[in-house]
Amino acid sequence: MLSPIVVRPQLHWPQFPDFPAGYYNPARLQDPLRARNASFDWTVFTPEGRSHAETYWDEAAAVLASLLPVRYATGRGDIHGVNVGTFTGAYQKAWMRRGYSMFGVEKEDVIDDLHAYGCDGNRDDAFELASIASARFDFAVLDRVYCRQPFYERFEVNAARGLRAYFGNIRRVLKPGGAFIGVLYDWYTKTVVSELAAMGGLTLWPMKSHCLAFQVDLAHGPTAIPEPASVSMDDPCWIDVHFGGDHHRLFLPTNEIAIDEAGTRAFAFAPPMRARSKREGGRSKKRLALFRQLLGGEQE
């Protein structure tokens, strides 16, 4: 029997601070990869800046930890987690400060920096995990790995061709009864959510910026993903969203907007509608301007 989907109240993610220029190491920001990932790369900060950044990473890790099943809620050395897409270990180290035993996986060539930060891990593809034995971890956490539109588009194409599951190897490295938590970004689709639902009991949390936090509990059976037309508009699966100056109702599991056309309700995939009204965030512009100032003014 399929489990019902569970939707919790909005999850509040802490905002990365606008640090002063003196907190950054300009030489490290010369590398576009470092500049792009500066909010979770310990190497781009001065010692003083790193101390302040770690306070933020601890806050963020606390939010992610709140997604775990209760049995894993308190960090202990005998609870083993894998940070899928750890980069240089900013969040992984924050999980370790919470008491968890953590291992990181990262495809970029930054593993020396991961180890220098006191973290354990390997270079590997996040969805291959070829270097990791089966049933090794109690939980896996996925955040800031595939946060862009092309990943979700590729996912849809592969799914239509009947290709292998994207999260199959993450499931493989989890122990029986383990958990998979993380964040899907604004172009997530019903196909992605359905794959998660097939793994176990699925809980969702709406977030700002149209992201979706999730927990898959392998201690429970697969979850049923309802069609939006079959669910009352008062159900928690529906939330209020605003973009383009208009109010909409969004069906979280499928990322679809309800549209009334001549008395008939239809459903449209929300991201393209949001994209037409999206503006670059002021905070992102401010941080980019700071990096350009540190680098001499002209780098992109």
Give 181-209 pLDDT, tens digit per residue.
Answer: 999 999 999 999 999 999 999 999 999 88
Query: Residue 298's pLDDT band (boundaries 50, 70, 90)?
Result: very low
Mean pLDDT of the chain: 91
pLDDT of amino acid 197: 97
Cα gap 32→299, rounded to integer Å: 9
SS3 readout for 66-108: CCCCHHHCCCCCCCEEEEECCCCCHHHHHHHHCCCEEEEEECC
- pLDDT computed for residue 281 by the predictor: 47
Any idea of the CA torsion for 33, 34, 38, 43, to the nearest 10 degrees? 150
The string of pLDDT tens digits covering residues 249-265 is 999 999 999 988 777 88
| Domain locations in the chain as residue ranges | 6-226
Question: How many Cβ atoms are within 10 Å of 156's Cβ, its own excluded?
Answer: 15
Beta strand residue intervals within 94-237, DSSP E = 101-106, 121-123, 137-142, 174-184, 201-206, 212-217
Nearest one of 87, 96, 199 to 142, comparing CA atoms: 87
| Choice between 298 and 67, residue whose per-residue pLDDT is larger | 67
pLDDT at 1 over 90: no
In this prediction, residue 127 carries a pLDDT of: 84
Give how far Cα 119 sits from Cα of 8, 82, 88, 90, Å. 32, 11, 9, 9
pLDDT confidence bin for 66, thresholds 50/70/90? very high
State the pLDDT at residue 297.
Answer: 55
Q: pTM of the full predicted structure?
A: 0.91
Fold for 6-226, please state it.
Answer: Rossmann fold (3.40.50)
Residue 161's contacts (CB-CB under 8 Å, 6 or more residues apart) are: none
